[in-house]
Structure 1
Amino acid sequence: MKYDKIVKGDLVINSKANLKINEVFEIKGDLILETAINLKMPNLTSCGGWVRANEGAKISLPNVTSIGGWVRACQNAKISLPNVTSIGGWVRAWENAKISLPNVTSIGGWVEACQNAKISLPNVTSIGGTVEACQNAKISLPNVTSIGVTVEACQNAKISLPNVTSIGGWVEACQNAKISLPNVTSIGGWVEAWENAKISLKKDCKINDKNCPAFKTREFCLIFNFECFLKLGFLFADDILAKIIEKKRNVYKIQIAGKTETSYCLMVENGDDELPTFSHGKTIKEARESLIYKISNRDTSVYKNYKLDTVVSFEEAIRMYRTITGACEFGTKNFVQSLSKTKKKYKISEIIKITENQFGNETFREFFIK
């Protein structure tokens, strides 16, 4: 079978024989290997979506430098990405799978390992999302100094974070799990261990620290990923990865990973050390209108008496989230459409959980949890 030099959508492989694909240089969507074969793509340099290996499959991508979505390996699968430096989404390994990312320095989303899986990230220094291990899994992060959200371990899992100094969310261990945090001095949320689990912390570590340095980690990761992808001709804005088709001043014409149609993204600079403000739209007019809403003064006082158990309608939940976080209409709609199902009503606590690791989640959470 022959392949195009640029695969505009997803590349799903179900071959029963080992493959070496030389002709593909770019995949705009996902790379999914469904069968237990060895796949080599020596000339591939960019994948806009996921890289996924299932059921004993092996993927070798020696020249890929950036992944826009997730990297996921399961059921004894192996993924080798020796030259990738930046991952926009999650890194997930389970059921004895192994993921090797020796040169990655920043991960925008979660790092998750379960069911005896192993993830080795020797050079990662910051993780924007959560670190989670369960069912005898092991995660080694010797050089990470800051984690933006949470650290969770359960069912005999082990997480070793010898150089982490701050964690933005909570730390939780259960069912004989162990978490070692010898140098953490600040945790933005709570700490909880149950069912024989152990968490090792310094005596002077601050819990529920409202000035936790890790609150800035997610933005740092997003800035790093944004700059890395921009150099490669991609726009990573509001957790949406897209190929840049054209740029005029602050307007990008883009093609979102995994989609065939083009759309637009407006960018407004906020300073040297801050992430720009973005707004997506099917047209420039739609993006501009959404941008005005996003950066204008928004009255959040109507929500000041809302509690975590306050119930709101589906429509009000969307309006409230945009008002509090400044999320643009296009990005919010994109996220809602990605949900497998929706309800007519939601508790505030449910909205926080559903939007975890999405644009604006920390702002939304902190509005109600003070």
Structure 2
Amino acid sequence: MKQEFEKFRKETGVDLVIKDGKPFYGGSLYLSGTGITALPDNLTVGGSLDLENCTGITALPDNLTVGGYLYLSGTGITGEVKVYKKLSSKAIAAISRVSNMPIFWEWNDRSYIKVDDMFTAIDSHHGNVYRVHKLNSSEQLYLVTDSENHWAHGRTLQEARADLIFKINDRDTSVYRNMSLNDTITYEEAIAAYRTITGACAAGTKDFIENRLPKPHKDKYTVQEIIALTEKEYGGKKFSEFFKK
């Protein structure tokens, strides 16, 4: 197991621990675009596991356990992935409420917060909006909450709010079922709707917004506009078909 752990660390820069005799990672594990070629057998990931565009991954390990979402788009996996047990939506919501409770810490006249799989220093705070930064980093991030234990980070306030809406929706597509092609939604709601309906990950959505979505970004979009803009993107066909009556 030691050699397997060392190989994993070299390929990903991530250190695993042993828990109950098995490899374990407590939070969400983002490996998108890394050169990883295999995951350890019996691996447990407490949060989500993002393997998007990891072309070296051709199969999942035996007895893999993932507490959140599993992203496999762009991997080398061609066979069917079987899920042996799926938690109910109530169980997932209960786990999310407990695991995502914020932890505040005061030290040396500075305030810190651990939430949304991230430990950051608080630079300022107004209402439900925080300005924070990771330790040993000068990049400022936004952290937002709905005061109902949903939290989200983003490099911009729009990005953070879009991710927050996505988390509040909890992949419930029913809120979009009665929308027409001419209905208008905000920029943040459009991002949340696309991720909720298609299952697109945050990283892939962010790449589209930064590199292919025409600028300047509009405050509002119609459903028809979103369909046209994402026609050739991951999940574009699924998004379009969702609104076909």
User: What TM-score, normalized by structure 2, do the two folds share?
Assistant: 0.45
Q: Which one has a larger percent helix, Structure 1 or Structure 2? A: 2
Q: Which one has a larger percent strand, Structure 1 or Structure 2? A: 1
User: What TM-score, normalized by structure 1, do the two folds share?
Assistant: 0.34
